[in-house]
Amino acid sequence: MVIVDKSGVHRLEVRCCDCPNAMSLDIQIPKTVFTFRVLDDFLLDNLECGTSAMNYYSKLQRMTSSMFPHLVPDQYRELMRVARQWRQLKIMKWHGFGHCSDTPSTGELALFCPACPQPGINNTNRNPNSRHRSFVMDRNFKAEHLHPIKPFDEVWLSNGLGFMVGKDSYKMHLAEAADTVEKSSCNNHRAVNQANAARHKLESTSIRGVACARHGCFVPHSMVDFQKGARQATCTIPHSRVNHASLADK
């Protein structure tokens, strides 16, 4: 069996259980195993150092055999898949979905600001004035995302469960919302330039979200990406999410 660990890639013999009620052999002995250590280490490296799966796996190969790294089994694709599943499992555990069969609903895999008043969570005062919250909208113009090479292979693990609005409700909103094209007299405004630019290769060009005005924490299920420049219709969805769905008497 190939065992991928933080210390390198190992080939070890593993004995399986042959009790009468044991599980079948292909479940007991998969071809490749990743240790929790290596998955945690990869996710941390990916988050803090921006290491891609390919670079990280090359490092493991080099650690295993500095003379012949190309002879170490190539489990790069497996690492990418398992790391995504591991991240998803940890997020589910952190948000309390570890040992129950409940499936999380929209925005439940993200946390909102702990300091802002939220009825039932950190505020038991019935006076409506004590629940006053203010929000700001912010936008990042540089969050560009390319079209996937094989869109039919894409699997959404947490569609609409975190900070981003679910793709189906976003599509429904875009289909319904009327898009009013605003002509700006300012000839160097970036949003206007972007709206007119041809961006066929990009799936999205920027990202917009709503945050609490005092502490800057983003609101779960309130971020959208912009598909062609600054469409007015796309701006309204984060706003409507804040008012109705995501924070309604949580």
**92 vs 210, beta carbon nearer Zn ion:** 210
- Of the pair 84, 133, the CB lying nearest Zn ion is at 133
Contact status: 113 vs Zn ion (CB under 5 A): yes
Q: Which stretch binds Zn ion (CB under 5 A): 62-70, 91-99, 113-121, 189-197?
A: 113-121
The owner of tokens 């790069």 is 76
Report the relative pairing of strands 145-146 and 2-5 from DSSP bridges: unpaired
Angle at 149 between CA 194 and CA 40, to 5 degrees: 100
When asked if residue 116 is in the footprint of Zn ion (CB under 5 A), the reply is: yes
Stretch that binds Zn ion, among 29-37, 135-143, 213-221, 225-233 (CB under 5 A): 213-221
Q: Is 27 in the site for Zn ion (CB under 5 A)?
A: no
Residue 212 touching Zn ion (CB under 5 A): yes
CA dist 42 and 71 (Å) reads: 22
What 65-74 contacts at long range (C-beta under 8 Å, 24+ apart), as own/partner pairs, is 72/8, 72/9, 73/2, 73/9, 73/11, 73/32
110 binds Zn ion per the rule CB under 5 A: no
Please report the DSSP string for 89-123 in residue order: HHHHHHTT-SSS-PPP-TTTTS---SSS--BTTTB
Closer residue to Zn ion (CB): 148 or 216: 216
Tokens linked to 191: 């949003």
Count of residues that interact with Zn ion, criterion CB under 5 A: 9
Binding test (CB under 5 A) with Zn ion, winner from 94, 215, 236, 250: 215
Question: Residue numbers of the site for Zn ion (CB under 5 A)?
Answer: 17, 19, 113, 115-116, 212, 214-215, 217
